[in-house]
Structure 1
Amino acid sequence: MSDFLLDPEVTFLNHGSFGACPKEVFEDYQHWQLQLERQPVRFLQRELPTLLADARRKVAEFLGSQPHELVFVPNPTFAANTIARCLPLGPGDEVLITDHEYGACRFAFQYAAEQKGFRVVQQAITLPVESNEAIVDEFWQGVNENTKLIFMSHITSSTALTLPAEAICQRAREAGILTMIDGAHAPGQIPVHLGNLGADFYTATCHKWICAPKGSGIFYVREDRQPMVDPLVVGWGWGPEKTFHRENEFVSNHEWLGTHDPAPFLAVPAAIAWQKKHFTGEARQKAWDLVRSAVDQASQIEGIRRVHPNAFFQQMGLIDVTALKLESDALKTRLYDNYRIEAPVIRWQDRMFIRVSAHAYTTEQDIATFVNAMREIVTNA
């Protein structure tokens, strides 16, 4: 916990919502803010393009892509809106998603569907899952001749399920279907190599599992798909009078969003460096073990069940508390007010889950605090 700015009085088991920033990364973030404020014109007009290019190069190396295939964006919702609005989708076309998708990104496609006349089709992925092959087969039941785009999570937010994105991208490419992967929870939690993954479009947060400052994300567009993607925000990076990133049209069109604080983007390399120094090997294995211990212990309490086999989750675990017949908001409030535990209580379809996250700051005592709290809650339910 000492490497982070988290409140030591709170058992923080919700890294999956907004992440947490290590102190040294936060200091790098503040360094860039200070440079901006000391000479805003020089920084934004003369220095920033080169600084962003250097940061983009380091992120591309970390994610296995080419620098000109990446741009920084505030979050995956921004990237999902970009694709939903720019692709030439219309009446008769379908976008296939799973029934596990994050609400904000799903809403982006549903909004665009209402405007443009295409359909968003949700295909069920039944829980518990049995194998990656079974997931692919069940998901593919939603594909037909009208399917033009597949949008799916790499690791789902609501159900903490790792999906076989590479296998689905490969099958989609063979069928001539575009793919966009929402990797909000993937980089920093599992290895991601965009060149091998095979997605046409990929987006991710950097402020979750990479532990960069809030408001940092990436949007990947494979080079041969870049002519398809119009910018969501048109500014000085677009057109013949473009001011920034003249060397690459895709980067120029998409990365200059007008005046904003670029410090979160510039601090992402520091977060990647922190990961490589402090959170590999034994440290990462410890986080996995703690999450699995939380699931194993909690699921032995009467009325609580595990959801996934261990192979299908990493640093976010899930327990099913539907049988407790409690209101989700009341349970979340009870965890925080009575036990000072920060953990999300999630309604998904007709079920209720608690999602437990672990990172470098998580301890065995944190897990014990959570398990003991759940025992008391069940006893007093």
Structure 2
Amino acid sequence: MKSQFLLDPEITYLNHGAFGACPKPIFQNYQFWQMELEKNPTQFIQKKAAGYLNISKEALSKYVGCNPEDFFFVQNPTVAINTIMRSLCLKAGDEILATNHEYGAMDKTWEFYCSKSGAKYVRQNISLPVVSKAQLLTEFWNGYTTKTKVVFINHMSSCTALIFPVKEICEKARALGLIIIVDGAHVPGHIDLNIRALDPDFYTATTHKWMLTPKGNSFLYVKKTYQSMLEPLVVSWGYQSQVPNANPFLELHQLQGTRDISAFLTVPTAIQFLEDNNWSQQSQQSKQLILDNYQAFCDLLQSEPICPISSEFLGQMCSIPIRTQQPVELKELLYQHYKIEIPIMQIYGATYLRISINAYNSQADLDKLRLAIIDIQENTDLLN
């Protein structure tokens, strides 16, 4: 599979989870749409774009399990969460219940909103190592109070790479009458997703990570109950649209004047690529590599796994606790000297080496990382 990707062959790429990686056939389709736009920008933007978007949305809706009229494309989940939070109208004292494993940009978004509204962003502690799903759920709901109005939860954590029990959280949140917002940035193309079955109020995710499309390609699903209250982040031509029989929800959020929607239009080609290459098997092989190697890397780095080593908590990523006083220097050394692209993640005083892999990776890549770590341990003081 490595020859199918555009990645630098001189680099061992163990950071798919950050920004994804786009295969050649999908990138060629991206360039095709860019060329179509430039052949006649007026016709493309004013007459054809809506139809092209509908085709892409039909394909994606079947893949993630929702109706095409209930979501729109955005650049990334941060844009999606900014759109949601501006429309919530929470009052001073209202609480948003999250975990201390959320993505940093999301934390900043909620902090900004709470500083303006007087609401409170509750980062409920999920202790590590996670022992069981039951323990995780108990700890999460310990943060619930009568002031809780919103549950915000990542489906899969960026820093700690843990899969969260979102189904169970959604079920209880619905029973409590809470607004449910799920950040599924790492989910499509990675772990099974059926938004209809989960039944959140809002769900945002990327297609440019594990679905392999070009960068800047994500979506925001909104349950019909909340579509009329959701204000656009950018007010443009969709406001008070003159188009007969238009969907006001989609008009407001999809019509934003001049922008390049080429990445959005690659979704059907991406899905076809995944089907043609038996991606469920490719993904399973990558997941097995994580399960086979996690304990060994923890042993090498004299740490312990942060969860049971099973598919209940781990997908194609794992985070290994490390001890270092120089995380930036360590990351740069791995890249500059050993030609390994891998992130060093920090959250709440803990530091992690996060391995994320896809079909272009092999055991040889992980063996190269292991040898690099041994060399660093023997010849530097970066790991102590």
Which category of TM-score, normalised to the shorter sequence, fits these structures? over 0.9
In structure 2, the residue matched to 1:201 is 202
In structure 1, the residue matched to 2:318 is 317
Matched, 1:127 2:128: yes
Aligned partners of 2:28 and 2:241: how far apart in 1?
Answer: 38
Q: Give the CA RMSD over aligned residues.
A: 1.3
Shift of the alpha carbon at 1:310? 2.1
State the one-letter code of the partner of 2:61.
A
State the one-letter code of the partner of 2:272.
A
In structure 2, the residue matched to 1:7 is 8
Deviation >6 Å, runs of 4+: none
State the one-letter code of the partner of 1:274.
F
Deviates further, 12-21 or 83-92: 83-92
In structure 2, the residue matched to 1:42 is 43
Matched, 1:89 2:109: no
SS at 2:3 equivalent: coil
In structure 2, the residue matched to 1:214 is 215
Shift of the alpha carbon at 1:77? 0.3
Shift of the alpha carbon at 1:307? 2.1
- What are the Cα deviations for residues 204-248 of structure 1, in whole angstroms up to 9, with x where unaligned? 01100111000000100011221221111111112143x5x9531
Aligned ranges for residues 273-288 of structure 1 at < 5 Å?
273-288=272-287
Change beyond 3 A, Cα 1:37–1:142: same
Q: Is residue 103–residue 158 contact of structure 2 (8 Å, CA) maintained in 1? A: yes
Aligned partners of 1:214 and 1:97: how far apart in 2?
Answer: 27
Q: TM-score, normalised by structure 1?
A: 0.96
Change beyond 3 A, Cα 1:285–1:31: same
Shift of the alpha carbon at 1:280? 2.7
| Identity among equivalent pairs (%) | 38
Aligned ranges for residues 162-201 of structure 1 at < 5 Å?
162-201=163-202
Aligned partners of 1:201 and 1:9: how far apart in 2?
Answer: 41
Q: TM-score, normalised by structure 2?
A: 0.95
Matched, 1:300 2:299: yes
State the one-letter code of the partner of 1:57.
E
- Contiguous gaps of at least 5 residues in structure 2: none
Aligned ranges for residues 64-79 of structure 1 at < 5 Å?
64-79=65-80
- Contiguous gaps of at least 5 residues in structure 1: none
Aligned partners of 1:160 and 1:299: how far apart in 2?
Answer: 15
Shift of the alpha carbon at 1:258? 2.3
SS at 2:334 equivalent: helix
- What are the Cα deviations for residues 306-328 of structure 1, in whole angstroms up to 9, with x where unaligned? 32222211101111112xx3311
Shift of the alpha carbon at 1:93? 0.8
Shift of the alpha carbon at 1:3? 0.3
Aligned partners of 2:308 and 2:56: how far apart in 1?
Answer: 37
In structure 1, the residue matched to 2:340 is 341
Deviates further, 131-140 or 68-77: 131-140
SS at 2:351 equivalent: strand
Aligned ranges for residues 20-39 of structure 1 at < 5 Å?
20-39=21-40
In structure 2, the residue matched to 1:229 is 230
